[in-house]
Amino acid sequence: MHSKTTTEEPTTARGAVVIITNRRGELLLHLRDDIPAIAWPGHWSLLGGGCDPGEAPAAAIVRELDEEAGLTAESLTELFETRDEHGSGQIITFFAAHWDGDETRLPLSEGVKLQFFAPEHLDILTIPPFIRGGIYRHLAARPS
């Protein structure tokens, strides 16, 4: 690998994920397909995906929510960026949003299922480390 220079930075793949909570404070997680060709197969993750060339993360997350789950979340807020060091290598922008619907009725176009989980149950799930870290970072920053 050669050293990172500022001229290389725009070619870094980017993605966006969203931490969706409902009125009970539960988080909406997405069980990924268990196929080796994707990053983090068989893991619980957040809805989201890669940015198209030239697409801003905020536009990507709105598009991905619609494509993956027919979902429009409320009060979408950009939180922070992190890198998926052990998976895709992408720089991932985390967002927060609110949605109070029935996740079992969403038209899921990829992955196995969507399910709300109480934060105290996250430790028993198989979640990519950068996703778990982002969720905990967000939860720690929320007013109690």
The fold adopted by the segment(s) 13-141 is: Nucleoside Triphosphate Pyrophosphohydrolase (3.90.79)
Q: Where exactly are the structural domains of the chain?
A: 13-141
This prediction has a pTM of 0.88
> How far is the C-alpha of 136 from the C-alpha of 71, rounded, in Å?
23
Determine the pLDDT at residue 9: 47
**Average per-residue pLDDT in the chain?**
90
User: How is residue 118 written in tokens?
Assistant: 């109480």
Determine the pLDDT at residue 80: 97
> How far is the C-alpha of 117 from the C-alpha of 22, rounded, in Å?
10
Give per-residue pLDDT as tens, 36-87: 988 899 999 999 999 999 999 999 999 999 999 999 988 999 999 999 988 8
